[in-house]
Amino acid sequence: MRPMTWMPIPLAGGGTLAHAVIPSDMTAGEAEIVCAVIRALVRTPVEVKPAIEPCVETERSELRTPTDLEKETRTVVNTERAAYYLNRKPQTLRGWACHDDGPLRPLRINGRLAWPVAELRRCVGLRT
C-alpha cells in the first residue's frame, strides 16, 4: 500500500477550499493538477452551517425557545430539556436513569422519564 498525505487545497483568494488525500510520492506538478481539477469541480465553496437544533424526538418548539431553569414553571421536564439544563447529552441522563448512578433520579411516568425541576435546580446550584 502506498503511503498517503493529507493536502489542503487553497483558494485563489486565501483560505482552504477542501482537503485531499494524495500519495506521498506524488510530484509537486501532479499535486497541482489534482488541486486544479478539484477547484474546477467545486466552483463555489460550500458554506457549512452548524446544526441549530439537536436531532431528538421531542417537541421542536420546546427546543427552539429554551427557558432559563430559574424561570421554569413545570414541576418535571423531559430528558432532552433536563440534558439542556445540565449541559449533558440526553443519552447520558438515560444512562443515569438505567443504572441509578447519576446525581439525580428521574420519575417514571407511563414508562417515560420525567426529571424533577427542583432536583435539576439543586444539581446546578440554584436555590429552590
Residues making up the chain, counted from first to last: 128
| Of the candidates 110, 111, 108, 54, the residue with the CA atom closest to the CA atom of residue 81 | 54
Q: What is the C-alpha separation between 76 and 102, in angstroms, rounded?
A: 17
**Structural domain boundaries, residue 94:** 60-124
Residue 52 lies in a domain: no
Are 65 and 36 in the same domain? no
- Where are any strands of DSSP class E within the chain? 4-10, 16-23, 76-77, 107-109, 112-116
pLDDT digits (tens, 9 = 90+) for 104-127: 999 999 989 999 999 998 888 876
CB of 82 within 8 A of CB of 72?
no
Residue of higher predicted confidence among 47 and 100: 100
Are 110 and 77 in the same domain? yes
Residue 81 belongs to domain with CATH number: 1.10.10
Q: What is the pLDDT of residue 107?
A: 95
Residue 47 lies in a domain: no
How many domains is the chain partitioned into structurally? 2
Give 25's contacts (C-beta < 8 A, 6+ positions apart): 2, 3
pLDDT digits (tens, 9 = 90+) for 73-112: 899 999 999 999 998 999 999 999 999 999 999 999 998 9
Are 67 and 35 in the same domain? no
Residue 30 lies in a domain: yes
Residue 85 lies in a domain: yes
Torsion of CA 89, 94, 95, 96, to 10 degrees: 100
Residue 50 lies in a domain: no
Are 105 and 64 in the same domain? yes
Residue 89 lies in a domain: yes
Are 64 and 111 in the same domain? yes
Orientation angle between helical segments 117-124 and 79-86, nearest 10 degrees: 20
- The overall pTM is greater than 0.75: no
Are 67 and 37 in the same domain? no
